[in-house]
Structure 1
C-alpha cells in the first residue's frame, strides 16, 4: 500500500514520535527496579517522564490520546507510573462553534434546535476529543444534556487508525520487538473500541442497560437517554446536577456521611462485573458525580467492558481470593486462565512474587490500599515472566484503580476489603440461585437426552473397533492389569450412568400416564423406576467417593 500525499503528515508525525521513544528505556525498564522507585525519583531514572509522554500524545491528536488511554491498561508494555499518567489522559480541544452544532443537530434529528428545545445554551459545559456537551431545556420542562459529536472526527479517527494499522503490520514483519508487544493487535483493539465509542446509539443503549441493572442500588444514578432526540452523532440525556467527586468541597465532605454512598458504589461495580457481565469501563473521577440529592451518578457510558460467563466466575473467585489475601488461590486462578510455556516460565518465582504483592496490601485503609494497583502490578509481574493474562483482567485493574482514587478521596479511612468480602459472598449466593433457573435444568435435561440417544451408537462403534483390534492407546508406561481394570471401571460407570438416565426419563414419561395403583400419589411403576435410579446413583456415588479414594491411597 503506497503512501498518499495527504497521508505524509500522519506518517511524518508518527515516525518523529517513534524516533523519540522507540529506543527509550520506558519500554524496557526492568519490573523489579520499577517497584523500588517512587514518584520523586521517576524522572531521574527514565529518559522521558510520564508527563512528557502524555504531552507528546496530546500533540499527536485525539486518536493518540485514545491510544494512550488504551496503553494504560497494558502493564506488559509500560511501567506503572507511566500507566498512572496515561490513565488520566484527557486532551485539550477547542470548542465547536454553535453554528456547526446547530447544523449537526438538524442533520441528525431532522428539526432545528430552536424547535426541539425551549432553551439551548450555545456555550458548552464540557468539550472533549469526540464531542461536546450543552445544557438544554425541553418543552416539557425537563432539563437535559445534549452531547454533539465533533464534525469530521469519525473520518479523522479512521484515517489515523488506518495509518497506524498499516505501520503496525509492517513493523511486525520487520521488528521482533513489535511482534513481542503485539503492536498490530493493540491498534486493532483501539479501532474496535473507538468505533463503538463514536456511535452514540450504542452509548444510549449502554445507559439504558446500566440503569436497569443498577435500579436496586438506591445511591447510584444513571442518566436516562431520550431516544427521540438521539442518533449516532447526537445524544440527549437527563441532566445531572452535581459536581465531580474530586471537586466536592472539604466542608461538605465533613458534613456528609459518605460511607453508604461508597458502599453502594463498590457494590454497583461488583454487581456489574460479576453478575451482569457489562460494566461502566471508565469511572475516572471526571465521570463520577456527586448529585444535588447526594447520590453518585456514573456519566459517559461510551466505554463499557463486557465479561463472559466464564470470566465472571473467574473474577468472582479472584476477588474472593484477593479479599481473603489468599495468594495461593490467586496464583492458581491466574495460571488457570493464562497462556504460557512451562519451559519458559519460572513458576516458583512467579508464585513468590504474587505472595509478596498480596501481603503488601493486607490490612490497609482506603487512603493506602490500591486494589486496582495490586491487580495491575500482578498483571505486570506475569507479563515480565511471559505469562499472558487475559485482557479482561487488565480492564478490571483499570476500573478498580479509578475506584480506589474515588474511595480514597471521599472516605480515606474506609475499609474497602471488608465491604468487598461481605458483598462478594452475597453475589456468590445470588449467582448460585440464578444458576438454578428452570431453563438451566431444561438445558441439562436436553444434554442428558443427547447423551442417552447418542451413547449407544458410540459405544457400539467403540466396541466394534475394539473387536476388530482397531483401538489404539498410546501410553508411556503402565501396569497392564491396573490399566485394564481402570478401563473396565470407566465402561461400567458409563453404562450405569446410561441406565440411570434411562430410568429417570422412563419414569418421567410414565408419570404422565394415569394408573389405578399409586404410591404417594405417583403411578407405582414410575415410582419404582425413580427408586431404582436413586439406589443405583447412590451406590455409584459411594463407589466414587469411598472405594476409589481408598484404592488410590
Structure 2
C-alpha cells in the first residue's frame, strides 16, 4: 500500500506540477519571492480546463474532489467553479467478472438470489455501478461498489495529505483554513460515499418524510439484500426530467413540475432537515401522472434546526431585497466575516439582486464594483461551512433544472410563496420579536446592575485596595510554534544530510524520496516563520479584591437556546454534509 501511495504521489505531481508552478508565480513572481501578478479571465479559464482534464485522468478520487471543489467559491475563483460544475461522474463500468465477485461474496450465488439479472450495467460512476435485476418477479436496481476502489481511494487520500502542506504554502492565510477544513471534509465524505448501508439509511429517512405525498416517489430499500458494498432498491421507472419533448408528449405541465420540484427540495431542507443532494437530471425522473422520482441518495445531507432557521432568514431577506438582512444572515451562518466591508458587500448584493430580477445595470458601475471586489476579496473572503456548501450546490442545480423546464421560472418568488404557505415568514417575525424582547430585558438588567458594581470598584481603587495581575497567555501558540520550528529544523538538517549520503551511495529512487521529504519539511519550516505573533499579557482583576461574583463584565446566560436535532440513526455526523457515488 505504501509503495502504491508513492507511485500515485509521483503521478499526481506530474499531472499538477505545471499548473502549480503557474499558480505559484501568480502569487510570487519568482515562486518564493517577488510580487504578485494579475491573471486575465481567459488564462484562468484555460487553466481550469487543464486542471479538470488532470482530475479526469487521475480517476475516481480526484473526480469526487473536483465535484466538491465546485461547491466551494470560497476556495476557487469563479472560472474554476464554472468549469467544475460541468464535471460528470460518468466513467466506463468495471468488467462484469469483478463486479460479480463482490455480489456473490456479499449475497451468495446470483442465480439463487435474483430471478433475473442483466449483466450490462444501466449506469456507471467512479465509485459504483448499477444493474437491473428482479427478485421474485419484482424489478430492482442493484448498486455495486466499484472493484478495487477502496485501495485506490486510500492511496489518493494519503497523497492529498502529503501535498496539503505544500499547497498551503502557496495560498494566503485567509484561504488556509478553508483548504484544511475542506481536506478533512473530503476524507470523511468520500469514505462515507462507499458505505451503502449509510445510503440506505438516508434513503429510508427521506422516503419516510414523503410517505404520504403521492406526488413524490422514493424507491424502497431491500434491507435483506443490502450490505456496505451492495445496495438493492426498488426499480422506479420514469422519464428524465429534462427530456422536454417527451414531457410535452405526455401532457406534463412543465411550469407546475418546476414549482413542485423546488417546493419538494425546500421541504427536504427547511422542514425535514434531510435531503437528496445530487439533483442533476440523471437523478430526477417524472412518471406519466406527473409524480417526481428521485434516484441515488449517496450524496445527501442533514441540516440542524438552527441552520434551517438561518436559511429561512436568508431567503426572507432576499425576497424583501433587504441588503442589511442578507448580510446579517450571511454573518450568522458563518459564511461572511463580521469584519467584511459591508458597503462593498452591499454593492455586490444589490448588483446580484438586480441581475436576478432582470433589471438594467449600469456597465460603468459594474466595472467599478468588480474592481473594488478584486482589491478586497482576498482580505475578507467568503467561507462556506460544509453543510451550507452542499445546500448552496443543491439550490444552484435545482434552479438550473427548473429554468430548463420553464425559462421564465422565478426561483425566489416560489421560495417566498413556500415559506409563506408553511408559516415560516410569520414564525420569523415572532422569533425576531422574541429576540428583541430578550435583548431589551438583558440591557435593562445590565443598566440596573452596572452602577453599583462600578461604584464599588472605584471605591476600592480610591482605597488602594485593587490588585492588578498579569498572566502570560500563549493562546496564539507562540511557544508551541517555537518548539515545532526547532523540531522541523532538526528534521530538515537530517534530511539534507541523508539525501547527500544517498546521492553518493544509494539508488536514484530512494534519493528522490528523501529529497521530496526534505523539501516538504523545508517548506513547512519556512511557512512557520510567516506569522509572527507574540505572547500577550492579559491584565486581570483578582476575585479576592473585587469580591466573589462582583466581577466587571461577567457573562450572563439567557434561556431560549435549543439542542441540535438528533442525527439519523446510525449516522454519527449530525448536520455535516454527506456524499455518495
Q: Normalising to structure 2: TM-score of the pair?
A: 0.65
Give the C-alpha shift of residue 249 in structure 1: 2.5
- The residue that corresponds to 2:127 in the other structure is 130
Q: 1:215 to 1:264 in 2, by over 3 A?
A: farther
- The residue that corresponds to 1:267 in the other structure is 263
* Corresponding residue to 1:398 among 361, 373, 393: 393
Give the C-alpha shift of residue 19 in structure 1: 1.7
Q: 1:186 to 1:467 in 2, by over 3 A?
A: closer
Distance 2:86 2:71 in 1: 12
Which shows bigger deviation, 297-306 or 383-392?
383-392
* Corresponding residue to 2:103 among 91, 102, 105: 105
8 Å Cα contact 1:199-1:233 kept in structure 2: yes
8 Å Cα contact 1:72-1:87 kept in structure 2: yes
- The residue that corresponds to 1:539 in the other structure is none
Give the C-alpha shift of residue 55 in structure 1: 1.8
Pair 1:355 & 2:313 matched: no
Q: 1:395 to 1:26 in 2, by over 3 A?
A: farther
Distance 2:354 2:398 in 1: 21
Distance 1:46 1:176 in 2: 16
Give the C-alpha shift of residue 80 in structure 1: 2.4
Distance 1:101 1:309 in 2: 41
Give the C-alpha shift of residue 92 in structure 1: 4.6
8 Å Cα contact 2:127-2:149 kept in structure 1: yes
Give the C-alpha shift of residue 355 in structure 1: 2.1
Secondary structure of 1:46's aligned partner: helix
Structure 2 spans left out of the alignment, 5+ residues:
28-38, 360-372, 432-542, 560-581
Q: 1:229 to 1:384 in 2, by over 3 A?
A: farther
- The residue that corresponds to 1:413 in the other structure is 408
* Corresponding residue to 2:304 among 303, 308, 321: 308
- The residue that corresponds to 1:226 in the other structure is 222
- The residue that corresponds to 1:9 in the other structure is 7
8 Å Cα contact 2:121-2:131 kept in structure 1: yes
CA distances 1:19-68 after superposition (whole Å, capped 9, x unpaired): 22224469979xxxxxxxxxxx9973436254332222100111000000
Q: 1:250 to 1:244 in 2, by over 3 A?
A: closer
Give the greater-gyration-radius structure (CA): 1
Distance 1:49 1:175 in 2: 17
- The residue that corresponds to 2:151 in the other structure is 155
Q: 1:431 to 1:92 in 2, by over 3 A?
A: same
Give the C-alpha shift of residue 296 in structure 1: 1.8
Q: 1:383 to 1:227 in 2, by over 3 A?
A: farther
Distance 1:95 1:468 in 2: 73
8 Å Cα contact 1:25-1:46 kept in structure 2: no
Q: 1:217 to 1:422 in 2, by over 3 A?
A: farther
* Corresponding residue to 1:180 among 175, 179, 182: 175
Q: 1:190 to 1:467 in 2, by over 3 A?
A: closer
Secondary structure of 1:297's aligned partner: strand
Give the C-alpha shift of residue 233 in structure 1: 0.6
8 Å Cα contact 1:58-1:92 kept in structure 2: no
Give the C-alpha shift of residue 250 in structure 1: 6.1
8 Å Cα contact 1:283-1:403 kept in structure 2: yes
Q: 1:22 to 1:11 in 2, by over 3 A?
A: same
Q: 1:91 to 1:316 in 2, by over 3 A?
A: closer
* Corresponding residue to 2:49 among 51, 76, 94: 51
Distance 2:550 2:336 in 1: 31
Secondary structure of 1:249's aligned partner: helix
Pair 1:119 & 2:84 matched: no
- The residue that corresponds to 1:345 in the other structure is 340
Residue pairs, 1:460-479, within 5 angstroms: 469-470=547-548, 472-474=550-552
Distance 1:281 1:275 in 2: 15
Distance 1:297 1:68 in 2: 27
Secondary structure of 1:246's aligned partner: coil
8 Å Cα contact 1:325-1:362 kept in structure 2: no
Q: Normalising to structure 1: TM-score of the pair?
A: 0.68
CA distances 1:346-393 after superposition (whole Å, capped 9, x unpaired): 2221222222222221268xxxxxxxxxxxxx9xx9776234343333
Residue pairs, 1:21-100, within 5 angstroms: 21-24=19-22, 44-46=42-44, 48-100=46-98
CA distances 1:77-127 after superposition (whole Å, capped 9, x unpaired): 222242133123124533222222222112112x21111111100111111
Distance 2:382 2:163 in 1: 27
8 Å Cα contact 1:219-1:261 kept in structure 2: no
Q: Higher relative contact order at CA 8 Å, sep ≥6: structure 1 or structure 2? A: 2
- The residue that corresponds to 1:235 in the other structure is 231
Structure 1 spans left out of the alignment, 5+ residues:
30-40, 365-377, 437-464, 476-486, 498-553
- The residue that corresponds to 2:460 in the other structure is none
Distance 2:224 2:425 in 1: 36
8 Å Cα contact 1:88-1:284 kept in structure 2: no
* Corresponding residue to 2:188 among 189, 192, 207: 192
8 Å Cα contact 2:221-2:234 kept in structure 1: yes
Q: How many residues align?
A: 421
Give the C-alpha shift of residue 267 in structure 1: 1.1
Give the C-alpha shift of residue 274 in structure 1: 0.9
8 Å Cα contact 1:382-1:389 kept in structure 2: no
8 Å Cα contact 1:124-1:135 kept in structure 2: yes
- The structure with the largest helix share of the pair is 1
